[in-house]
Chain A
Amino acid sequence: MIDVAQREIERLAGVSAWSLRRECVTSLERFYTGARSRMARSADTTLLKASLFVDSGAGDGRQRSSASCILHPSLGPAELRETLERCMAAASRAPSPWYPLPGPAPDGGGAWKGGPLLEADPSRAMAEAAEALLSAQAGEDPRLNSMELFLSRRSVEIRNSEGVRAAWQNAGLDVEYVAEAGRNGDSVEIFGMASFASVEAAALRDEASLALSLARDRLAALPLKGAEGLPVLLTGSDAVQAWFDYFLWVTEAMAVYQKRSEAAPGYRFDCGPDGDPLNIAFDPDRPGRPWARPFDDAGTRLRPLQVISSGEVRALHGGLRGCHYLGLAEAGSYAAGRLASMRHAMAEVDPGSLDEGAADLPDCLEIAVFSDFQVDNDTGDFGGEIRLAYLRRGGERVPLTGGSLSGSMRECLPGMRLSRHMTAAGLMRVPRAVLIRGARVSPA
């Protein structure tokens, strides 16, 4: 259908530029309670989107206007033509300062394929993944209350009027799970989600084992008190991911152009003389990364990109439009993944000097699980309710629950220290822990 759509677009009068993006997804899904699968699903979907652009004016006053539409596979020839004509009529009505579309990558696109799951037998892979997760249970308690497994294969093709002809396939396993621990009729749970490029039994078992141990600790936790004023050690992957995601939000070209962010190239994040240097890069080519892809949604070739080096912004990233408005070279948008929380993918944050497991770690409140840790990317304020923390004092590690954390990036960056150990958080690779000072802890 993409060929037919392209032909129809090229017949339309007045189109200055166009792009087409088709995504076909095949997935197998299972929904478990305990070890029993309550439902199995299969999904085959195709989404073809067309964007039409109309230029007007000249010189500094040159403008570009656009509109987009979905071309469903069920559209007949007349309906397809009608949909594109409607889109064309709208396309000249939303003028913005002119910006280009991506051109073809010098190395073309080729038939890029990512991930061993493209070749795996889906049903067997799914069964193996479930078995690996369930193998983390040593007995009846703690246990996995429920889990959802999604094994998806994605095939994407992008074309535009500037000559982009990009296509790739990738595959991944997304897992959502709930670990539960109980005693005397009372029980607690820990929620988690993760993505994998392959069915690695050990990695899946480790993921579930960690959740089970956190559930057991949450059950034993005391109400959080006596931690006011202590440094905070963030160790939960959700919070660590959200923490580093902030730096990627504020270095998006459009955010800087629109003055939502001041982090233009040359801007320095003040980590202070005692803090670890902050280095963040995108690395789409790293092997084994789930949902890696060679192009962004507009067809820009994604390449390794150093965004922040020793706290200084070296390069912005994001769509070509924002980069063009700022007079920068195109970088690309590195978002990926099925799960909404995985906004910035393929990012790598350098490790720091902190050994969070060391016995001589200063007294601190280690927060392992929030109900939902949020960073406001516009203001830099952050906060969340604490579901599991550990008061680390004098070599002891006492589990606590309840209360909340709040603070601002501006106040907590100076002196920030990063773990020397790395972990996967969402689709990023990041230091396993972040030590900050200046955040407010409210007791339970």
Chain B
Amino acid sequence: MAGPDARKVSFSPYLEASRAGARDLVDALAGRFDYVSLLGEDSHGVFARVAPGMNEYRESDWGARGWVLRVQRAGRVAERSFSTLDNPRALAEDSAGLLESLLAEGTDFEYPPLLDSPLKLSWRSAFAEDPLATDPAALLDVLAGARVAIQSAGAEIVYAHAHAEFVASSKLFVSKARELDQALVLGNAYAIAMARRGEISTYWYESTSGLSGAEQLARLAGLGRKAGAAAIELLDAGKPEPGLTDVILAPDVAGLLAHEAFGHGVETDMLAKGRAKAALYLGKPVASPVVTMYDGAAGAAQTGSYAFDDEGNPASRTAVIEDGVLRAGISDALSAAEMGMPLTGNGRRQDCSRKAYARMTNTYFAPGTDSLEDMIASVESGYLLERFSSGMEDPKNWGLQGIVIMGREIKAGRLTGRVVSPVVISGYVPDVLSAVSMASTEIELYGNGFCGKGHKEYVRTSMGGPYLKTRLRVG
């Protein structure tokens, strides 16, 4: 979070200069289609890395500038993505023909009319230190410091690396009835350690993230020390005892559970295709009463935050599960229209050249009332699971899978000091969520990953929660 010295992010001069042209383009097409909208994006950023033999400073891979036009006629929907908006009138003529042909030949599905109620909105996020104006050498010095901190953990560290990425993103949305603009800066940074002893190699990462600027790097050296120490600790790791067992999920692993277990399963485009079991359980219990889970770009200041989505709908916070009962899905505009569900502002694109889907934003479990110490003391035999490596959803069948880097063994209510790695976790989502019996009082969100729809269409998200005690299968 930006502190008291925060400054507002500036809106893209390019998009500002294009505003009138964007309105001209939409107006020129308005008479030919029932619905017309135009989204413009101007994002640029930096990626900086310090690794063995390498200082790197380059444009972020999230840098993008482009436009996407969406139209609807007689229910059918088509889109055109393009790079420049030089001559709106000529572009309108060219686009009209192309979009009419796509509507006629490329689609045969009729949606209800897309919502275009009047709305004006202008929003800027804040930061304390502008990462794009920071001297590259100073930024690399901070990363080099984190790298030294990783290496200070011991001689068994064979690889140490720190990187940071910041993006300034502006968006302009224009439709017949709406004109919205927003500008934000977000970023994240990693300290990555690898240790080796004989044939055994281990890996650990620590990270920081936020809807903020370079001020978040102040934590990085401390995170580097933690990363190095954890990688060395893992050199003595054993293998987990396979089977169903009590576990305490650290906040990042709880976030993985939120994201993979129910986040994907309540994306309404999955419901519209009949691909999500959640459709049958709306209003029904799916978890223990301890469990409340949210998703929303407006729900937290993290890397999944914004004021309006890529279809021009305002961000919100959705209570997906409330006191154990499945309450709502998260929607994009098309599936919300088709299913008559509320718009939640979750229609997101990887960039303007891609389609919008219903996507998660900041997804997290609400805090509980327990202390971590009490939670550990309540476990007869099990693991404290820390640091997720990967996960995959199964919204149709509610299977849960994740890989966690470290499990700390708990016996008779105490951490034994023994660690295991890696830990493959799996289970049936309602079983895992129904078994949640304790949750700690503080939550933490991690915005250091990307979320794919299947294996593509990556968007920035955050996820997290409190420490959660549940029961699942480890292997």
Instruction: Enumerate chain A interface residues (CB-CB to B < 8 A).
Output: 25, 28-31, 33, 36-46, 49, 51, 65-70, 72-74, 79, 90, 93-97, 123, 126-127, 145-146, 176, 178, 180, 187-189, 191, 193, 254, 257-260, 321, 325, 338-341, 371-372, 374, 376, 378-381, 383-385, 387, 402-406, 410, 440-444
Alpha-carbon distance A405/B426, docked complex (angstroms): 11
B389 — which chain A residues lie within 8 A by C-beta? Answer: 374, 376
Q: B396 touching A187 by the CB < 8 A rule? A: yes
Q: B473 touching A404 by the CB < 8 A rule? A: yes
Alpha-carbon distance A378/B199, docked complex (angstroms): 12
Q: A30 touching B353 by the CB < 8 A rule? A: no
24 contacts between A and B (CB under 8 A): A28-B106, A29-B355, A42-B81, A42-B98, A67-B58, A68-B59, A69-B59, A70-B64, A74-B85, A79-B14, A95-B55, A176-B454, A187-B274, A189-B396, A254-B54, A258-B53, A259-B158, A259-B159, A321-B54, A372-B401, A374-B389, A381-B421, A405-B424, A405-B475
Q: A70 touching B57 by the CB < 8 A rule? A: no
**B402-420: contact bitstring with A at CB < 8 Å (1 yes, 0 no)?**
0100000000000000000
Report if B242 contacts A (CB, 8 A).
Answer: yes
Q: Label chain A's interface by main secondary structure.
A: strand
Q: A146 touching B455 by the CB < 8 A rule? A: no
Alpha-carbon distance A13/B272, docked complex (angstroms): 58
Q: B82 touching A90 by the CB < 8 A rule? A: no
Interface size class of B (residues with CB under 8 A): 35 or more
Report if B243 contacts A (CB, 8 A).
Answer: yes
Residue from A189, A339, A385 having most chain B Cβ neighbours under 10 A: A385
Q: Which of B65, B83, B84, B203 contacts A376 (CB 8 A)?
A: B203
Q: A43 touching B353 by the CB < 8 A rule? A: yes
Instruction: Enumerate chain B interface residues (CB-CB to A < 8 A).
Output: 14, 44, 48, 51-59, 63-66, 77-86, 98, 101-103, 105-109, 111, 135-137, 140, 158-159, 161, 194, 199, 201-203, 239, 242-243, 272-275, 334, 353-355, 389-394, 396-397, 399-401, 403, 421-422, 424, 426, 452, 454-456, 458, 473-475
Question: A41-B79, A442-B475 given as contacts; is B399 within 8 A of A371 (CB)?
Answer: yes
Question: A33-B109, A37-B109 given as contacts; is B455 within 8 A of A341 (CB)?
Answer: yes
Q: B44 touching A70 by the CB < 8 A rule? A: yes
Question: A176-B454, A371-B394 given as contacts; is B55 within 8 A of A39 (CB)?
Answer: no
Q: B422 touching A44 by the CB < 8 A rule? A: no
Alpha-carbon distance A441/B242, docked complex (angstroms): 9
Q: How far is the CB of A407 from chain B (nearest CB, A)?
A: 10
Alpha-carbon distance A376/B57, docked complex (angstroms): 26
- What is the total of A-B residue contacts with beta carbons within 8 Å? 234
Q: A193 touching B454 by the CB < 8 A rule? A: yes
Q: How far is the CB of A256 from chain B (nearest CB, A)?
A: 11
Q: A45 touching B353 by the CB < 8 A rule? A: yes
Determine the residue in chain B with the shortest Cβ distance to A79: B14
The 10 tightest CB contacts between A and B, nearest first, are A40-B106, A442-B475, A372-B392, A385-B401, A93-B136, A43-B81, A442-B242, A94-B57, A40-B102, A68-B58
Q: B401 touching A440 by the CB < 8 A rule? A: no
Question: A51-B58, A69-B59, A146-B275 given as contacts; is B106 within 8 A of A37 (CB)?
Answer: yes
Question: A41-B81, A72-B65, A440-B239 given as contacts; is B59 within 8 A of A385 (CB)?
Answer: no
Question: A30-B107, A41-B355, A259-B158 given as contacts; is B422 within 8 A of A94 (CB)?
Answer: no
A403 — which chain B residues lie within 8 A by C-beta? Answer: 426, 473, 475
Alpha-carbon distance A340/B201, docked complex (angstroms): 26
Q: 18 extra interchain contacts, Cβ-Cβ under 8 A, other than A40-B105, A41-B79?
A: A30-B106, A37-B106, A37-B109, A39-B107, A40-B107, A41-B355, A96-B55, A258-B159, A259-B158, A339-B456, A371-B393, A376-B389, A378-B203, A383-B422, A387-B399, A403-B426, A403-B475, A405-B475
Q: How far is the CB of A23 from chain B (nearest CB, A)?
A: 11
B159 — which chain A residues lie within 8 A by C-beta? Answer: 258-260, 378
Q: A383 touching B456 by the CB < 8 A rule? A: no
Residue from B66, B106, B161, B389 having most chain A Cβ neighbours under 10 A: B106
